[in-house]
Amino acid sequence: MGKALVTDLYELNMAASFLRRDMKERATYSLFVRRLPTNRGFLVAAGLEDCLSYLESFAFAEEDLAWLRGAGFPAQSVEQFADLRFTGDVEAVPEGRVVFANEPILEVTAPIAEAQLVETYLLNQITYQSALATKATRCRLAAGDIELIDFSLRRTHGTEAGMAVARVSAIAGFAATSNVEAARRFGLVPSGTMAHSYIEAFSSEEEAFSAFAEDFPGHTTFLVDTYDTLAGVDAAIEVIRTLGLSEGLAVRLDSGDLAELARLTRERLDAAGLPDVRIVVSGGLDEYDLAGFREAAAPIDAAGVGTRMGVSADAPYLDSAYKLVDIGGRPVCKLSEGKATLPGAKQVWRHLPDRDLLATSEEPGPPGAEALLVPVMRSGRRLSPSDAIGACRERLDRDLEALTPAALDLHSPSAPEVIVSERLTRLSEEVATRLLGRRRPAPPGGREHS
C-alpha cells in the first residue's frame, strides 16, 4: 500500500479531470497559515522532511489502482494514475524557522494534476507538525534553564504524531524523550525511570527504590509521590545512603504543588548532604506551569512535558491553506468572503525584528533582507539530504533571538506585522478586477459588489 490514497477524494476527482482534459499547465500552489491562533505570536515551520519523502516516493501502488477500479473510478483515469509521479519543484521555509500568518511555508510548482494530488498530505504534515513545534518552542522559552524531556507519547493523537512530537520538541531544544522508537529513529536521547506501578509492585518504596538502583546503576531517578511525596524523598535518601549511591541520581515529583514540593525536597536532599541529586517534575505541565516555576525560583532541574505539549492543547490546529496561486503563468486567487488569497508565486523577505515583507517571487528583496523560501526540490528530486535536527535547532535559536518581545510574550503575544509589497498589492488588485470583471456581478447575501 502506497500513500497515494491517503488523500481526500476530491483530489483524485480533480486530478482525473485535469488529466482527462489534457490540462498539463504548470501550476503553483502556496501553503500558508491564514491566521495565527490568538495565543501565538509566531509559528515554527516543521513537517518539511516528511513532505519531501512523500513527494519523492509518490506513486499509486497496484492495489491502490485495483481498489479505485473496483470503487467505480473512471478506468481511463486509473490508467493515467498508474504512471503518475511527482515531477515538480518545491520552494520551502526550512524546518525550525519562525514564520507568521500568510507567509508561504511551502510552494509547489508542478503539472496541475500532480500539484493538486499532493495537497492533503502536505497540508496534514505541515499543519500539525508546525502546531506542535510551536507549542514545544513556547515550552522551551518558558522553561529557561530547566531541562525539558518529551513525555507525550501516551496521549498524542496516535503513534505517528508521537514520533513527530519527539522530533519537533528536539528541534525546539528539548534534551531528551521518553519515546524509545523516536530515540532510535532520530538519534535522540531516550529518558525514563519508573512509574507508580513499579513502586506498588514491591512491598515498600524502599524495596522498590533499592531494586531499581541495583538494576539501573548510574542513572536512577526515584519516583517519590506514590503515597506521600516527602516521605518518598526520605525513603530515597535512605536508599541512597544505604547503598552508597553517588552518580546519576534524581527524584521525580509527579503530583501536588510541584514548586513548593521541589523546595521542600531540595531542603531535605541538601540537609542529607546530597546536593547533586537532581529534582525532576512532571504531571500535566505546559509553558504556563514552566514559567510559574521560574517565577517562583523553584529548585527544579528538569521537567517532563507531556500531553498538553503533545497535542498543543490550547491551539491544536492551525488555519492552514494550500491555494492555487498561478496556472500557466496566469496569477489566480479566490475571493471567497473572509478567505480571499493573494495571487502568484511569492517570496518572504526577513528583516526582523521589525517585520517581514511578503512579495512576488520576481521582485528583489530589500537590502540586507534574507529570503525565507529556498529551493528544496527540482523535478521531483530533493536538492540536498535531510536536515540534521541540530541544524534545525540552530535556525530556530537564531530566529528566536531576533524576535520582538511582543511576539515572544507567553500570555498575550502579538506577531510582528507582515508587510505586503507594493507589487504584490497591485497584482492582487489586478487579478481581483479581472476575475470579478469577467463574470456577471451578483448580490452576495443581498449586498452589491462593485
Closer to its own copies by Cβ: residue 176 or 357: 176
Alpha-carbon distance of 297 to 268, in angstroms, equals 17
Count of residues touching its own copies (by CB under 8 A): 124
190 contributes a contact to its own copies by CB under 8 A: yes
From the list 104, 141, 52, the residue with the least C-alpha distance to 322 is: 104
Please, which of residues 306-335 interact with its own copies by CB under 8 A? 307-308, 310-313, 316-320, 322-324, 327, 332-335
Give me 384's grid cell. Answer: 540536498
* Residues 405 to 444 in contact with its own copies, rule: CB under 8 A: 435-436, 438-444
* Distance (Å, whole) CA 380 – CA 314: 37
Q: Is 44 in the site for its own copies (CB under 8 A)?
A: no
CB closer to its own copies out of 164 and 348? 164
Distances from the Cα of 98 to the Cαs of 44, 56, 207, 398, in angstroms? 5, 25, 49, 9
Q: Give 241's DSSP letter.
A: H
Query: Nearest approach, Cβ of 390 to its own copies (angstroms)?
Result: 19
- Does the protein bind its own copies through residue 53 (CB under 8 A)? no
- The least distance separating its own copies from the CB of residue 350, rounded to whole angstroms, comes to 27
Looking at beta carbons only, is 336 or 379 nearer to its own copies? 336
CB of 321 to its own copies, least distance (A): 10
Region near its own copies per CB under 8 A, out of 87-95, 223-231, 269-277, 398-406: 223-231
Output 341 or 407, the one with its CB closest to its own copies: 341
**Nearest distance from residue 165's CB to its own copies, in Å?**
9
- Say how far apart CA 224 and CA 230 lie, in whole Å: 7
**Rounded to the nearest 5 degrees, what angle is found at the Cα of 132, between the Cα atoms of 127 and 138?**
130
**Which of 147, 181, 301, 363: binder of its own copies (CB under 8 A)?**
181
Give the three cell numbers for residue 315: 491551539
Question: CB-wise, 314 or 370, nearer to its own copies?
Answer: 314
SS3 for 317-340, per residue? CCCEEEEEEEECCEECCCCCCCCC
Least distance CB 334 / its own copies (angstroms) = 5
Show the DSSP H helices in 21-158 as ranges: 48-56, 62-70, 75-82, 112-117, 119-143
Q: Does 282 bind its own copies (CB under 8 A)?
A: no
Least separation in angstroms between CB 416 and its own copies: 25
Question: Quick check: 352 and 403 in contact, CB under 8 A?
Answer: yes
In Å, how far from its chain's centre is CA 423? Answer: 32
Nearer to its own copies by C-beta: 39 or 404?
Answer: 39
Residue 159, interface with its own copies (CB under 8 A)?
yes
Beta pairing partners, 212: none
Paired sense of beta strands 26-33 and 320-327, if any: antiparallel
Quick note: the x/- pattern for its own copies over 355-394, rule CB under 8 A, is: ----------------------------------------
Computed on alpha carbons and rounded to an integer, the radius of gyration of the chain in Å comes to 26
Q: Which of 26, 196, 351, 382 binds its own copies (CB under 8 A)?
A: 196
- 99-158 residues near its own copies, rule: CB under 8 A: 112, 116, 119-121, 123-125, 127-128, 132, 151, 153-158
Is there a cis peptide before residue 353, judged by omega within 30 degrees of 0? yes
Which residue lies nearer to its own copies by CB, 135 or 393?
A: 135
Among 247, 252, 249, 276, smallest CA distance to 262 is for 252
